[in-house]
Amino acid sequence: MSYFITGTDTGVGKTLISCALLHAFAAKGLRVVGMKPVACGYGEHEQNEDVRQLRAASNVLAGYGQINPYSFVHPVAPHIASINFGVRIELERILTSCRELQSQADVVIVEGIGGFKVPLNEKQDSAELAQQLELPVILVVGMRLGCLNHALLTADAIAAYGLKLAGWVANVLDADMPALHDNITALEQRLPAPLLGVVGYQAQPEAQVAAAQLNIESLQSHESDAA
């Protein structure tokens, strides 16, 4: 029961939903841990804010380097950040860390960076990372103008890499988005996976509030139907 979390773009709430999933699975008595393979941009105490939130939402104590194998100071694309830092992002290192976490937890939530196909080095991108992890994918759709195209293109890309879209989350970014429910309905009709929940707009996002709006049972139901 581990999942790769991707989004329709950067800034759509992947960390919020990743932490919400951790809370939801933990509420069922499961050992959970979040992972951010690549993080760009430091917050306080030279820690990435996304990583800090994932660690706070986990109930398995794991090493920082396992949770976040690659961390860079500047908030730019990871392949650029790594070049500036004189490091090459190696997928095998990430895979090793993920396997270590899977041996310690019932559920590992792996949060991607940016959208689905973000360059990680001169040849490989985050889509190839997801492919090598061989995890089902949960798509976070940032509900705002343009989300339909972004969501459907991302779903097509996930399928093109031979990965399973296990579910998707509608994360409302625009409190006044026109035709919000019509947009959600359009995606429900077109995306080949269940809607796990509609997370309402929050001026100050809280993962536990978002967790209460998710139906993770839909993940198991969808997997049973697919089998």
Q: Find the helix or strand (DSSP H, E) in which 6 lies.
A: strand 3-7
State CA 123 to chain mean position distance. Answer: 22
Q: What is the pLDDT of residues 183-194, one digit of tens each?
A: 999 999 999 999
Say whether pLDDT at 107 is over 70: yes
Is residue 220 classed as helix, strand or coil in its secondary structure?
A: helix
The residue ranges of DSSP E strands in 70-183, in sequence order, are 70-72, 107-111, 137-143, 165-172
* pLDDT attached to residue 44: 60
Confidence class of residue 221 from pLDDT cuts 50, 70 and 90?
low
Domain count, the chain: 1
- Over range 39-52, report the average pLDDT: 81
Confidence class of residue 225 from pLDDT cuts 50, 70 and 90?
low
CB within 8 A of 144, min separation 6: which ones? 173, 174, 177
Report percent pLDDT > 90 for the chain. Answer: 85
164 a catalytic residue? no
Q: How far apart are CA 122 and CA 44, in angstroms?
A: 30
State CA 63 to chain mean position distance. Answer: 20
Q: What is the pLDDT of residues 196-214, one digit of tens each?
A: 999 999 999 999 999 999 9
CATH number of the domain to which 116 belongs: 3.40.50.300
> pTM above 0.85?
yes
Q: How far apart are CA 81 and CA 74, in angstroms?
A: 6
Q: How far apart are CA 82 and CA 70, in angstroms?
A: 9
CB within 8 A of 195, min separation 6: which ones? 167, 168, 169, 170, 184, 187, 188, 218
Residue of 14, 28, 36, 117 marked catalytic: 36
Q: What is the pLDDT of residues 129-164, one digit of tens each?
A: 999 999 999 999 999 999 999 999 999 999 999 999
Report percent pLDDT > 70 for the chain. Answer: 95
Residue written as token pair 């041996």: 103
| Enclosing domain of residue 10 | 3-226
